[in-house]
A and B are shown apart, each in its own frame.
Chain A
Amino acid sequence: MAEQEELVNLTIDGQPVSVPKGSLIWAAAQKLGIEIPIYCYHPKMDPLGACRMCFVEVEKMPKLATACTTTVAEGMVVSTTSAKVKKGRAGTLEFLLINHPLDCPICDKGGECDLQDFTLRYGPGGSRFDLNKRHFEKPIPVSENILLDRERCIACQRCVRFTQTVAMENGLVMEQRGFRIEVGVDPAAPFDSIFSGNVVEMCPVGALTAKNYRFVTRPWELKKTPSVCGNCSVGCNVRVDVRVDKVLRQYSRTNDAIDDGWLCDRGRWDLDWINDTERLRTPLIRRDGQLQPVSWDEALRFVAERLRAVRDQRGARAIGGIGSTHTTNEEAYLFQKLLRAGLGTNNVDHAHGRFPATEPGALPWAWSDSIAGLEQASHIVLLGADPYHRQPIVDLRIRKAIRAGARVYVVTPEANRLDRLVAGVIRYTAGHTGTLARALLNIITSDGLARGEQGAQRAADRRASVAQETPERAAQVAGVDADALRELAREIAGAKGAVILYDEAATLEPSGATLAADVLDLALITGNFGKPGAGAGPLLADNNSLGARDMGLLPDTLPGYRPVGDAAAHAALGGAWLATLPAEPGLSYTEMLSGGVKALYVMGANPARDATPEQLAALDALDFLVVQDLTLTETAQRATVVLPAVAYTEKDGSFTNTERCVQLVRRAMQPLGGAKADWEILVGVARALGLGWTYLSPAEILSEIGRTVPLYAGVTRRSLGAEGVRWPFAPGERTPEGRATITGSPSITWQMLAEGVARAQKPGGELIAPRGRGE
């Protein structure tokens, strides 16, 4: 894959090390586990060489060198511990401390502050400066969420460089020079970026602090758990910081393949819903028109009784379930298993529902490439997508791709935050994303822009279906510039690698019925497929939007996208579940909400919030409505039984992000007293129904998924590791201890597409084994 990199050999503190040519001394030392203190340098940004903290001594260099700007050379001999280095570092620190206030006891950074740490490790221990320190007005707001304490700033410029070069959003600038230098707000550009919180994390001192974290705790009081952000479909890797019973913040836990070390402000701070004092702490049953607290035993027995009664009187098809795009894979899996195997109905769906026109058994409409792949793309097209607001960290990666030279086209109905940075902007009337996609296909098929044999074949197949969808027609109905579309089609067709992304919401527009398939064809025909930096796919909304589908929260497919009528899948799954599964497709989300069922089981969803008046009436007309949620949502207020659930920070499990990466979520805090994780509740209901489920942990459920769902073949908590794996999986090498592993696929290829789920099934046969316990 990667070309053989040229290695350079050097010695640091007597230890030999080889690193790629062009590496910095700092990186080489890091490889050896030798700390070189840094302030202005940040591994994700270009070196600046401003703070002089990273001094090392290099043989044959007359002066101390800065490790963050000096690249390695063959045979270099570096010392990080010589007397000269010690003196240099101590000198730098003494200067930094001249004007630094003695704020440590009340500073939010105290305890995780590089100035404290390096002063202890490399500092002089005292100061010779006995004049007055410089003082400024204490914190001044630089944005709604962030405060700046200028006394504490050591002018490393990380924050300013982040906003200018990484986020490309401006907002912060350096003002004045020399000892007067300070950080200021750009009067022309307010600092209102959704990425702003990163500067708080990367500020080496407590100069930039978060308003909502101000004085709430100190780092040593926090319990820090590696996990995954649960706010959107990007699935950034985070460290959840909890004090006693409150989540106080999420910090980044760098995963270069997904978040590149950054978080958005939503992920970092929007956690109040977890600490909400209104959260439910006890099950409720409606009696005399009022929801009244009851015990768990009673609630579970009641739910089972009523579900059984509805099934006995009206048949299994009168029961339906609406699952969640927020709960874990394990919970989604158990939910549909409860409905399918336990109650005997295929009426299972979630709010977005299936993408129309999924070919049964084919690989589903998932992003065929990865977030990291964007960096290799020559072209990125956003079709009706607004990642800045909906998948912020994908937007940040697009900005990185722009810096690497990618031509980005923003094709959206409304102004987009990326507009001023991109190669082209195309506007159209909202609701016509699908029209545009078909017009692009029309141009490509009729102008002979297909590439490759397979592309030409596919173009021939599609030509007739889009013959009427000319750009002129699109101009008429969608108010789009036809020439701009032509130019865009040409760009895509000529691209070295183009990634075409649409928002999943666009598939629900009236014109979007075939959007998913059309965009995929667009990529296939133009040869932009199957390699990093090329591909197509949706940007999904929620943290487990993809996982919910993967796990079969769909009325017509079993977990792993096997059609409910597929006899083989049926037999295998029925065998594993010890049940006879219903074969005809169930009711969809909207059908269930329009009176299709008599009893509705809602887990972690709030259909009443966006319901039409008719749907609300249908909800009220239900015989039985059970809701699992954190608070008394609009839907829960109408429920017969409400079962209090917990947030993702309070349970173990796994999420599947928008680029197919399955990642582990870890319990970071005690679950709220009285509430239970959704999987526990489902197991409780199943047991009350007499199903004899014995799951003791999400790990056990995940192992069952790994055995019974071909798409997830081989998945266990262990095999997912710290940074997750992207499906389709293939069996990997065994670990030295003989444990099975799996490898992922950064991009989906033509072949995988053709083989569909069957490919995933290959190692399958033996994977579908009878139910067993543990791994």
Chain B
Amino acid sequence: MAMEMLKGLGTTLKEFGKKPTTVSYPEEKRQLPPRFRGRHVLHRYENGLERCVGCFLCAGACPADAIYIEAEENTDEQRVSPGERYARVFDVNLLRCIFCGYCEQACPTGAITLENIYELASTHPEDLVYHKEQLLEPVGSATRGSIVDWTPTPPEATPTPLPGRQGYFDGLEASAAAVGQGDMPAEQAVFLGDDLSGMEHRRRLGEPEEGE
């Protein structure tokens, strides 16, 4: 009996000087890994335009049916996003969301990312349907969000692998031709620049390789 008690005490003494694993929330907050998937943020470009073009791809990818969008057309008087189309309504139902991050992966313009925001509690369920106004980052603070941590090379460093001068949404060129070229680095293998991939391409087309 006494033996057991001493053993227990020993464990306590052993841990005594160590740094605790718990944090005293809310005074103190935990440092989260960069890829932590919390609440969504909708991003902007430097010039204030929204990245989201209202394409519904995130809603289509969402396994939980958590995203509801209504799109509308940009006009010259009221330009919200660079292309022809923007999301007038963008709701994420965080009660449905399973924080899988598929929406982030589906987005062609890097408009939606899951961030380190985890303080999501409310006594009113309807408060947890976040609207576009709540999700958008404020004008003047254009960030890329966690997408940078998910993509191996920072997008800026990647030379545009796509043809055309409107490689990026610059917000000045209001052409939907830029849609889908986004800021995400494209998969190298898809775009054939050098000879090697040219041969790869021929092989794929079933053509005899040169010298065969």
Binding site for B on A (CB under 8 A): 83-84, 86-87, 90-91, 101-106, 110-111, 124-133, 135, 138-139, 151, 214-218, 220-221
Contact = CB atoms under 8 A, between A and B. Distances in A.
Interface of B: 53-57, 59-60, 70-73, 83-85, 108-109, 162-165, 175-181, 190-193, 197-198, 201, 204-207
A105 B192 contact: no
A128 B164 contact: no
Given A87-B207, A124-B205, A128-B201, A102 B181 contact: yes
Contacts of B70: 216
A128 B201 CA distance: 9
A196 to B, nearest CB: 21
A126 B190 contact: yes
Given A105-B57, A215-B72, A126 B192 contact: yes
Contact of B177 (A84, A90, A102, A124): A102
B60 A105 contact: no
Given A126-B201, A127-B191, A138-B176, A132 B163 contact: yes
Contact of B55 (A87, A126, A218): A218
A105 B73 CA distance: 13
A124 B83 contact: no
Interface of A, secondary structure class, is loop
Contacts of A220: 56, 60
A103 B204 contact: no
B84 A124 contact: no
A151 B204 contact: no
A216 B71 contact: yes
A700 to B, nearest CB: 34
Nearest to B87: A215
Contacts of B201: 124, 126, 128
Contacts of B53: 105-106
A736 to B, nearest CB: 40
A130 B193 contact: yes
Given A215-B73, A218-B60, A106 B191 contact: no
Contacts of A103: 176-177, 179-180
Contacts of B181: 102
B163 A105 contact: no
Closest 10 CB pairs of A and B: A105-B55, A83-B206, A102-B180, A106-B85, A218-B56, A101-B177, A215-B71, A87-B205, A130-B163, A105-B108
A90 B193 contact: no
Contacts of A106: 53-55, 83-85, 176, 179
Given A105-B55, A133-B163, A214-B73, A126 B191 contact: yes
30 contacts: A84-B206, A87-B205, A91-B205, A101-B177, A102-B162, A102-B177, A103-B180, A104-B179, A104-B180, A105-B55, A105-B179, A106-B55, A106-B83, A124-B204, A124-B205, A126-B190, A126-B201, A127-B163, A128-B198, A131-B163, A132-B164, A132-B165, A133-B164, A139-B84, A215-B54, A215-B72, A216-B70, A217-B71, A218-B55, A221-B60
Contacts of B57: 105
B198 to A, nearest CB: 7
A138 B76 CA distance: 13
Given A91-B205, A102-B162, 13 more contacts: A86-B205, A103-B176, A103-B179, A103-B180, A105-B53, A105-B109, A124-B204, A126-B191, A133-B163, A215-B84, A216-B71, A220-B56, A220-B60
Contacts of A102: 162, 177-181
Nearest to A214: B73
Contacts of B198: 128
Nearest to A129: B163
B205 to A, nearest CB: 5
Nearest to A90: B205
A212 to B, nearest CB: 12
A101 B71 contact: no
Nearest to A98: B163
Nearest to A130: B163
Contacts of B178: 102
B59 to A, nearest CB: 7
Given A105-B53, A127-B163, A135 B85 contact: no
Chain B CB within 10 Å — which of A126, A133, A216, A220 has the most? A126
A522 B197 CA distance: 76
A63 B193 CA distance: 30
Contact of A133 (B54, B109, B177): B177
A468 B65 CA distance: 74
Given A128-B201, A215-B85, A221 B177 contact: no
B51 to A, nearest CB: 12
Contacts of B163: 127, 129-133
A558 to B, nearest CB: 50
Chain B CB within 10 Å — which of A104, A110, A125, A217 has the most? A125
A101 B72 CA distance: 20
Contact of A86 (B72, B164, B206): B206
Nearest to A128: B192
Chain B CB within 10 Å — which of A87, A101, A215, A217 has the most? A215
A526 B130 CA distance: 73
A769 B56 CA distance: 54
Contacts of B71: 215-217
A104 B181 CA distance: 11
B207 A125 contact: no
Contacts of A110: 55
Given A130-B163, A132-B165, A138-B84, A87 B180 contact: no
Nearest to A215: B71
B132 to A, nearest CB: 16
A220 B69 CA distance: 13
A125 to B, nearest CB: 6
A476 B24 CA distance: 103
A84 B54 CA distance: 40
A83 B202 CA distance: 12
Contacts of A127: 163, 191-192
Nearest to B202: A87
A86 B70 CA distance: 39
B175 A138 contact: yes
Nearest to A110: B55
B77 to A, nearest CB: 16
A421 to B, nearest CB: 38
Contacts of A111: 60
Chain B CB within 10 Å — which of A102, A106, A129, A151 has the most? A106
Contacts of B84: 106, 138-139, 215
Contacts of B85: 106, 215
Nearest to A139: B84
A125 B204 contact: yes
Nearest to A89: B205
A501 B179 CA distance: 53
Contacts of A128: 192, 198, 201
Chain A CB within 10 Å — which of B56, B165, B193 has the most? B56
A132 B54 CA distance: 26
A83 to B, nearest CB: 4
A129 B198 CA distance: 12
A126 B193 CA distance: 10
A407 B164 CA distance: 55
A90 to B, nearest CB: 5
Contact of B206 (A87, A125, A130): A87
A151 B178 CA distance: 13
Contacts of A104: 179-180
Contacts of B191: 126-127
Nearest to A85: B206
